[in-house]
């Protein structure tokens, strides 16, 4: 009997598509390690469990671990023990140093040669290549697969994965990644997933500043914010930051702007990503005037104590600047 799924809403449609994508893995439950259960990783790990996979998890936050344990995951005190029990290991961590240190610790006592390590953090492509060589020298496989789509995408399993590795490795991890995302793109060799992610996030930082500037100016000129947002989103200024993540409170119901800019994608992280963009731009002799300016603006926000706020707080910062 053929399975037929009838969808009556966008949310149900997204869920049904995820179920269809993951059906090939339902009958072949995998042991999957997940290191880093933050705003993104917690949802990603949960979605893997929803598709029948056995999760082995680690995080420095006891609460994050307890949340996954309550759903059936096994919590580990050592990443090396977690890796020994896993067919796949996914890492979702804040920065270059933490990722590198985690892999050094996780593989210090050797690795299972059939295990595939997948890093979904946003880090320097050169760090990716270094870790790949180290993991490969121990007999296992490593790819980079950073994500785009934010916390809503992680929660709804609609993330975009940008994969760097061989074609065979891409095919080996695709079914697992499809349990967390709707688009899995092979970008090329090791580090190319990170190259795509860094460039994407540079564009994200620039566009959020642009939306914040335009909204702030429109409101100061007397326009109703909802009216102007509707105009942007039906005209040439439309973008993800204006439509799905508007920085002005009251415009996008699910945006962090409606929760005092808590949660979401932190100013600390966008600043880190823009710093990565600046570094690789310098190394490749590539001009990024707007990317460099965006980096300086977010560094200013960090210096004002806003690092833990969602990066859309740049609007609130501009709003509170005095008129010239």
Spell out the residues 6+ positions from residue 243 whose beta carbon is closer than 8 angstroms to its own.
232, 233, 252
Residues comprising the chain, all counted? 324
The single residue of 62, 78, 174, 197 carrying the catalytic annotation is 197
Cβ contact 236:242 at 8 Å = no
Distances (CA, A) of 145 to 101, 187, 196, 209: 18, 9, 10, 26
Dihedral sign for Cα 294, 300, 306, 307, please: positive
| Largest CA-CA distance found in the chain, in angstroms, rounded | 70
> Is the backbone of residue 43 left (phi > 0), alpha (psi -120 to 50) or beta?
alpha
Query: 182 an active-site residue?
Result: no
Please tell me the distance from the alpha carbon of residue 131 to that of residue 46, in angstroms, as a whole number.
Answer: 26
Cβ contact 117:145 at 8 Å = no
The residues annotated as belonging to the active site are: 197
């Amino acid at each position: 009997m053929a399975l037929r799924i009838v969808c009556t809403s966008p949310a149900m449609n997204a869920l049904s598509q995820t179920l269809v994508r993951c059906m090939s893995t339902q009958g072949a439950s995998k042991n999957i390690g997940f290191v880093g259960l933050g705003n993104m990783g917690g949802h990603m790990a949960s979605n893997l469990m929803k598709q029948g996979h056995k999760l082995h998890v680690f995080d420095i936050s006891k609460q994050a671990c307890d949340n996954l344990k309550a759903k059936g995951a096994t919590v580990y005190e050592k990443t090396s023990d977690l890796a020994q029990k896993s067919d796949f290991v996914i890492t979702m961590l804040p920065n270059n140093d933490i990722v590198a240190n985690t892999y050094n610790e996780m593989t210090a006592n050797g690795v299972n040669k059939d295990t595939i390590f997948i890093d979904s953090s946003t880090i320097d492509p050169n760090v990716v290549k270094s870790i790949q060589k180290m993991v490969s020298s121990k007999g296992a496989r490593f790819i980079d697969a950073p994500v785009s789509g934010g916390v809503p995408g992680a929660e709804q399993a609609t993330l975009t994965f940008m994969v760097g590795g061989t074609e065979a490795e891409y095919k080996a991890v695709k079914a697992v990644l499809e349990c967390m995302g709707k688009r899995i793109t092979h970008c090329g060799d090791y580090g190319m997933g990170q190259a795509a992610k860094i460039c994407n996030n540079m564009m994200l930082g620039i566009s959020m500043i642009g939306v914040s500037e335009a909204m702030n100016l429109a409101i100061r000129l007397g326009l109703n914010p909802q009216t102007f947002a509707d105009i942007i989103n039906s005209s040439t200024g439309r973008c993800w930051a204006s439509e799905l993540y508007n920085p002005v409170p009251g415009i996008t119901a699910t945006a962090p702007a409606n929760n005092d800019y808590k949660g979401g994608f932190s100013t600390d992280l966008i600043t880190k990503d823009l710093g990565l963009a600046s570094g690789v731009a310098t190394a490749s002799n590539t001009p990024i005037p707007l990317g460099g300016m965006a980096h300086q603006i977010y560094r200013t926000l960090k210096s004002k104590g806003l690092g833990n706020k969602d990066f859309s707080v740049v609007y609130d910062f501009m709003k509170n600047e005095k008129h010239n």
